[in-house]
Amino acid sequence: METHGQWERYKKYLYYNPELGLMVDISGMGFPENFFRDMQARMDQALKCMADLEKGAIANPDEGRTVGHYWLRAPHLAPSPEIATEIERAIRDIEDFARKIHRGEILSSTGDKFDKILLIGIGGSALGPQFVTDALTTGHDLMNIYFLDNTDPAGFDRVFSALGDHLCRTLVLVISKSGGTVETRNGMLETRYLFAGRGLDFARHAVSVSQAGSLLDRTAEEEGWLARFPLWEWVGGRTSETSPVGLLPAVLQGFAIHELLRGAVLCDRITRNREVKDNPAALLALMWFYATGGEGGKTMVVLPYKDRLQLFARYLQQLIMESLGKEKDLAGNIVYQGLAVFGNKGSTDQHSYLQQLLEGPDNFFITFLEVLKDRNGSSPQVEEGVTSGDYLNAFLQGTKGALRQKGREYLTITVEKVDAFSLGVLIALFERAVGLYASLININPYHQPAVEAGKKGARFIVDLQRQVLAFLRQNRGKAYTAEEIAFALEKGDETEGVFKILEHARANPDHGVRRTEEKNILYSKYYI
Ligand SMILES: O=P(O)(O)OC[C@H]1O[C@H](O)[C@H](O)[C@@H](O)[C@@H]1O
């Protein structure tokens, strides 16, 4: 399966760092011999930009902001002693709060000990905690966690019914950097109604994580919530796992946050290395550049061969795609940059889309994540002399061989085991790879200007809905087609939107909208 030349290439390019417990194998990528030499000047510049960023340069020029996620795990690197003190204080306060919760020194409104967490947040305010929870949960953590990360009513109901009678023992973490994200607000409001319906005092169950002075922070202050933890302007949502966003739920669950931070800080130190072959983040960034021609020409399939890492692909989707998916470069040129990420886990995905990766268009590269330790303790044999873990390893190696034969490219990141330390390493590794790659392609990875467009669109539709419902109420008992309503409201250009609003309204009991049945649904009439 393997040729001598491959082994030589493997030996030549394998990165291994025993301190990090990390290997990065890039030999399965077909870059030419002179690639590193040709990229040296660009990478030197990227590393210099990163060094400036860490010293507090305005690395997010569009928003005039510094970018400080690396300070979160090394407060002494922060550009001012005030910032360092704030970070240290926040970690201390989180630990202190969690200790009191665990010891029952802070009790719920009913005098019960808290043993459940309901985390309400979205995007960067949920993905990190979800990933870390799934990776580290033992099944008997100090507290069990549930998430609301959308504005889907049935999604709320599913979680509420799982919480059932435990609501009186549930600590609610509302996490939002901006403090104004609608999905999070809706989750909070519905949770509040649920508490009120059970006669429970929501404020005595609620905790916020948000920027000082945000709507959420002010609400928490005015209503006297149990605690308020800070988030700072200089931490982006997608790089907030080592901030209170990630640390608060982790420490409440009993995860080893100092190990997570130690993994991240060590990885940060090692990925500052200016010697590219000794810098795994620089290696990743260069491989992304090679694979996509620096233009996002290929997608990255993230395949952890470990169930506990299956949410990593989803976590990386935000970290990478929200950071790198940009219309303009730093000079204002239209570039349409990005790096699309998908994936779930191996070997499971070998039984779904791997067929296409082997025989379909060669428009991707794979990042395998390999974990050497199978489980705590030993494994039974599933065949003579072979364990399930041997098979997982064999499927990974076998898939690489099959890809090689087809000339498909991949790289492999190996960690010793899944624990808080290795998660810290992986998070920091990809954070820095994203930053370095962004410099290589000259874009700002720290803003997300387009996200606003979808939010604006939603506000427009909610406003249009108010007008449509008001029209039907004013003309109670009379029935109208979507076209007639749009015309009457002088919203002829929005007829499709009006139709979708009406269809949604008649499918639900909330607004009392009904529909006449016509052969062609588009001529159906709606009334209240
Ligand atoms: O933490 P929040 O302010 O609620 O933001 C939550 C998320 O929503 C926004 O739309 C951004 O695109 C994300 O980067 C952010 O993580």
User: Is the whole-model pTM more than 0.90?
Assistant: yes
Can you tell me the distance from the alpha carbon of 259 to that of 132, in angstroms, rounded to the nearest whole number?
13
Q: Are residues 282 and 214 in the same domain?
A: no
Same-domain check for residues 292 and 405: yes
Closest-CA residue, ligand 1 atom 2, reads 176
Query: What are the residues whose beta carbons fall under 8 Å from the beta carbon of 349, sequence distance 6 or more?
Result: 303, 343
- Please pick, among 11, 76, 140, 351, the residue that the annotation labels catalytic: 351
Instruction: Kindly give the number of the ligand 1 atom that is closest to the alpha carbon of 455.
Output: 10
Per-residue pLDDT band for 214 (boundaries 50, 70, 90) equals very high
Nearest Cα residue to atom 7 of ligand 1: 123
Residues 227, 114: Cα–Cα separation, whole Å: 14
Is position 294 within any domain? yes
What total of structural domains would you count in the chain?
A: 3
Q: Is residue 10 part of a domain?
A: yes
- Helices 257-270 and 280-292 pack at an angle, to 10 degrees, of 70
Decide if pLDDT at 4 tops 80. no
Residues 429 and 470 in one domain: no
Catalytic residue of the set 55, 455, 456, 478: 455
Cα distance between the two ends of the chain: 70
Do 42 and 163 belong to one domain?
A: no
The alpha carbon of residue 281 and the mean position of all alpha carbons in its chain are separated, in whole angstroms, by 19
Separation between Cα atoms, residue 177 and residue 183, nearest integer Å? 13
437 with 476, same domain: the answer is: no
Q: What percent of the chain has pLDDT over 90?
A: 97
Which CATH number belongs to the domain containing residue 469 in this structure?
1.10.10
What is the whole-number distance in angstroms between the Cα of residue 180 and the centre of ligand 1? 9
What is the number of other CB atoms lying within 10 angstroms of the CB of residue 122? 20
Question: Which tens digit of pLDDT belongs to each residue from 447-479?
Answer: 999 998 889 999 999 999 999 999 999 999 999
pLDDT at site 153:
98
Q: What is the pLDDT of residue 18?
A: 98
Domain span at 251 = 69-255
pLDDT grade for 1, boundaries at 50, 70 and 90 = low
Residues 168, 245, 449, 218, CA torsion sign: positive
Tokens representing residue 473 in the block? 């109420």
Instruction: Supply the residue whose CA is at minimum distance from atom 12 of ligand 1.
Output: 451
* Closest residue by CA, ligand 1 atom 9: 123
Distance from the CA of 340 to the center of ligand 1, in angstroms?
Answer: 19
Residues 99 and 205 in one domain: yes
> Given ligand 1 and candidates 177, 216, 320, which is best to mutate, with the most ligand atoms within 8 Å of its CB?
177
Question: With bands split at pLDDT 50, 70 and 90, how would you rate the model's confidence at 291?
Answer: very high
Does 63 reside within a domain? Answer: no
Residue 288 in any domain: the answer is: yes
- Judge whether 62 lies within some domain: no
How much distance in Å is there from the Cα of 205 to the middle of ligand 1? 24
Kindly report, residue by residue over 143-175, the tens digit of the pLDDT. 999 999 999 999 999 999 999 999 999 999 999
Q: Is residue 230 part of a domain?
A: yes
Instruction: Give, for ligand 1, the residue of 67, 120, 122 to mutate: max count of ligand atoms closer than 8 Å to Cβ.
Output: 122
Mean pLDDT of 112-125: 98
Tell me: pLDDT of 376 over 90: yes
Buried b (16+ CB within 10 A) or exposed e, 408-436: bbbbbbbbbebbbbbbbbbbbbbbbbbbb
Residue 64 lies in a domain: no
Residue 60 lies in a domain: no
For ligand 1, the distance from its centroid to the CA atom of residue 504, given in whole angstroms, is 26
Q: What is the mean pLDDT of the chain?
A: 97
In the reported structure, the alpha carbon of residue 346 is separated from the centroid of ligand 1 by a whole-number distance in angstroms of: 29
Pocket of ligand 1 (CB under 6 A): 122-125, 176-178, 181, 184, 237-238, 322, 448, 451
Among candidate residues 322, 370, 409, 494, the one labeled active-site is 322
Region class of 42: left (phi > 0), else alpha (psi between -120 and 50), else beta: alpha
Q: What is the pLDDT of residue 418?
A: 98
pLDDT of residue 453: 87
Which of 214, 237, 255 terminates a domain? The answer is 255
Beta strands in 294-363 (DSSP E): 299-304, 326-328, 334-337, 341-342
Question: Are 379 and 354 within one domain?
Answer: yes
Give the tens place of pLDDT for each residue, 28-75: 999 999 999 999 999 999 999 999 999 999 999 989 999 999 999 999
The stretch 496-516 carries a mean pLDDT of 98
**Domain identity same for 277 and 319:** yes
pLDDT computed for residue 454 by the predictor: 87
The whole-number average pLDDT for the span 356-365 is 97
Residue 264: closest CA among 414, 422, 132, 372: 422
**DSSP, res 383:** E
4 classed as catalytic: no
Same-domain check for residues 408 and 274: yes
Number of Cβ atoms within 10 Å of the Cβ of 285: 28
For residue 50, the CA-to-ligand 1 centroid distance in Å is 23
Distance in Å, CA 122 to ligand 1 centroid: 6
ipTM of the complex: 0.98
Given a contact cutoff of 8 angstroms between Cβ atoms, the answer to whether 23 and 413 are in contact is yes
Average pLDDT value for residue range 303-318: 98
Torsion of CA 140, 146, 149, 154, to 10 degrees: 130
Q: What is the pLDDT of residue 452?
A: 87
Residue 117 and residue 193 in one domain: yes
Rounded to an integer, the average pLDDT of 265-293 is 97
Q: What atom in ligand 1 is closest to the CA of residue 231? A: 1
Q: What is the pLDDT of residues 250-259, one digit of tens each?
A: 999 999 999 9
**Closest ligand 1 atom to the C-alpha of 236?**
14
Question: Does residue 184 share a domain with residue 286?
Answer: no
Same domain? For 336 and 459 the reply is no
Of 181, 188, 231, 446, the residue with max ligand 1 atoms within 8 A of its CB, to mutate for a pocket test, comes to 181
C-alpha 125 to ligand 1 mean position (Å): 7
Q: Which of 226, 255, 284 is the last residue of a domain?
A: 255
Lowest mean pLDDT among 8-17, 274-283, 451-460: 451-460
Residue 520 pLDDT exceeds 60: yes
CATH code assigned at 14? 3.40.50.10490
Q: 3-class DSSP state for residue 36?
A: helix
pLDDT (0 to 100) of residue 3: 72
Kindly write down the DSSP assignment for every residue of 488-499, as one continuous string: HTT-GGGHHHHH
- pLDDT, average across residues 430-439: 98
**Residue that terminates a domain, selected from 409, 425, 441:** 441
Which of 67, 178, 182 best tests ligand 1's pocket when mutated (most atoms within 8 Å of CB)?
A: 178
> Which residue, by CA, sits nearest to atom 16 of ligand 1?
124
| pLDDT value, residue 439 | 98
Pair of tokens at residue 266? 């060590």
Is 455 marked active-site? yes
Instruction: For residue 245, give the ligand 1 atom closest to its CA.
Output: 1
| pLDDT reading at 192 higher than 60 | yes
Q: How far is the CA of 38 from the centre of ligand 1 (A)?
A: 37
2 pLDDT band, cuts 50/70/90, is: low
Tell me the mean pLDDT in the region 321-343: 97
pLDDT band for 395, please (50, 70, 90 cuts). very high
Ligand 1: atom nearest CA of 178 is 3
- Of all protein residues, the one whose alpha carbon is nearest to atom 4 of ligand 1 is 176
